[in-house]
């Protein structure tokens, strides 16, 4: 089976009702990124940051995967699919995608404030545990923090993602502005002969100068068209 490697961003989940961060009216308008998505913000006001991610988690209970997520999962009938996502929601998994690499962490998990990437301290929360409180501690005694890769932190899964990109037979980008590095640089690791598809309703600048087949639609409509192009 050919390997389809997919890079997804906030636009993938927008139709499900999850706020994008960068668009007008997005989360960064309401909460400055420095306050809720940096180690410094967390150190300055752990309560604010903990509450912010509690709200994001609770939002997950009110949304469901959209047709784009479902169609991507269905592509596993025809391809060996790897989803590399910048999203921290669990909608790919809920739609049935079996291999998902989360570059920026996972909202449904918490970890140690001292050793956030130590697998011994990463814990998946059940929905009834989504309200994390100050004073809830990891196994090493530190305050539980969101298992999120904040701005200024290393991206532990980037090497794994690069490995998959280097082996892709088809590369697909959905709903990402290609602004956030290192994720935006993954296209540079896709071999030159590999066809690249981009699904996004907005125009996305591709810096590499390589040919890209653009489908200027939202995630669900775009995936319908992509499936027609690749499968039917």
Instruction: Give pLDDT tens digits for 97-106.
Output: 999 999 999 9
Which residue among 124, 148, 172 closes a domain?
148
Residue 32 neighbours by CB distance under 10 Å: 11
Q: Please tell me the predicted confidence (pLDDT) of residue 114.
A: 96
* Phi, psi values for residue 89, rounded to 5°: -80, 175
pLDDT band at 33 (very low <50, low <70, confident <90, very high): confident
209 pLDDT more than 60: yes
26 pLDDT more than 60: no
Verify that 120 and 50 share a domain, yes or no.
yes
Verify that 222 and 126 share a domain, yes or no.
no
| Residue 134 DSSP symbol | T
Verify that 218 and 198 share a domain, yes or no.
yes
Polymer length in residues for the chain = 232
Residue 46 neighbours by CB distance under 10 Å: 14
Verify that 121 and 58 share a domain, yes or no.
yes
Verify that 119 and 176 share a domain, yes or no.
no
Verify that 33 and 132 share a domain, yes or no.
yes
How far apart (Å, rounded) are the C-alpha atoms in residues 54 and 119? Answer: 21
82 pLDDT more than 70: yes
Query: How many domains, the chain?
Result: 2
Verify that 97 and 175 share a domain, yes or no.
yes
24 pLDDT more than 70: no
pLDDT band at 20 (very low <50, low <70, confident <90, very high): low
Verify that 209 and 185 share a domain, yes or no.
yes
Verify that 175 and 198 share a domain, yes or no.
yes
How far apart (Å, rounded) are the C-alpha atoms in residues 227 and 74? Answer: 9
pLDDT, tens only, 113-143: 999 999 999 999 999 999 999 999 999 999 9
CA distances from 196 to 4, 38, 185, 193, 208 (A): 10, 32, 14, 9, 12
Packed helices 67-74 and 219-230: angle between N→C axes, nearest 10 degrees: 20
Summary mean pLDDT of the chain: 92
Joined together, the tokens standing for residue 207 give 């810096």
> Which strands, in side-by-side order, build the sheet including 213-215?
100-102, 80-85, 3-8, 170-174, 196-199, 213-215
pLDDT band at 19 (very low <50, low <70, confident <90, very high): low
Q: Please tell me the predicted confidence (pLDDT) of residue 140.
A: 97
Q: Please tell me the predicted confidence (pLDDT) of residue 184.
A: 84
Residue in this structure with the two tokens 């049935």, named with its chain if needed: 96
Verify that 217 and 119 share a domain, yes or no.
no
Which residue among 121, 148, 175 closes a domain?
148
Report the CATH number at residue 82: 3.40.50.1220
Verify that 118 and 131 share a domain, yes or no.
yes
Verify that 119 and 199 share a domain, yes or no.
no
Report the CATH number at residue 50: 3.30.1600.10
Task: Assess whether 69 carries a catalytic annotation.
Answer: no
pLDDT band at 183 (very low <50, low <70, confident <90, very high): confident
The sign of the torsion formed by the CA atoms of 72, 76, 81, 87 equals positive
According to the per-residue pLDDT averaged within each range, which of 49-53, 93-97, 173-177 is highest? 93-97
The average pLDDT across 55-70 equals 94
pTM of the full structure = 0.93
pLDDT band at 29 (very low <50, low <70, confident <90, very high): low
Q: Which of 92, 102, 104, 193 is catalytic?
A: 104
| Domain housing 90 | 1-18+66-104+155-232
């Amino acid at each position: 089976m050919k390997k389809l490697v997919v890079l997804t961003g906030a636009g993938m989940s927008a139709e499900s009702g999850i706020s994008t961060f960068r668009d007008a009216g997005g989360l960064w308008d309401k909460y400055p990124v420095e306050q809720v998505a940096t180690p410094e913000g967390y150190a300055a006001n752990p309560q604010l940051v903990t509450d912010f991610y509690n709200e994001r988690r609770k939002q997950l209970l009110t949304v469901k995967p959209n047709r784009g997520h479902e169609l991507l999962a269905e592509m596993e009938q025809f391809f060996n699919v790897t989803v590399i996502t910048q999203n921290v929601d669990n909608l790919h998994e809920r739609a049935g995608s079996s291999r998902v690499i989360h570059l920026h962490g996972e909202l449904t998990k918490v970890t140690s404030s001292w050793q956030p990437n130590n697998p011994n301290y990463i814990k998946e929360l059940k929905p009834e545990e989504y309200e994390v409180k100050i004073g809830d501690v990891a196994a090493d005694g530190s305050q539980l923090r969101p298992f999120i890769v904040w701005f200024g932190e290393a991206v532990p899964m980037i090497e794994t993602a690069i490995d998959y990109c280097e082996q892709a037979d088809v590369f697909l980008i959905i709903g990402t502005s290609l602004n956030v590095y290192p994720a935006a640089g993954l296209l540079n690791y896709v071999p030159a002969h590999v066809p690249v598809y981009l699904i996004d309703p907005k125009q996305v600048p591709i810096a590499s100068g390589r040919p890209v087949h653009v489908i200027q639609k939202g995630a669900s409509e775009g995936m319908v068209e992509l499936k027609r192009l690749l499968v039917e």
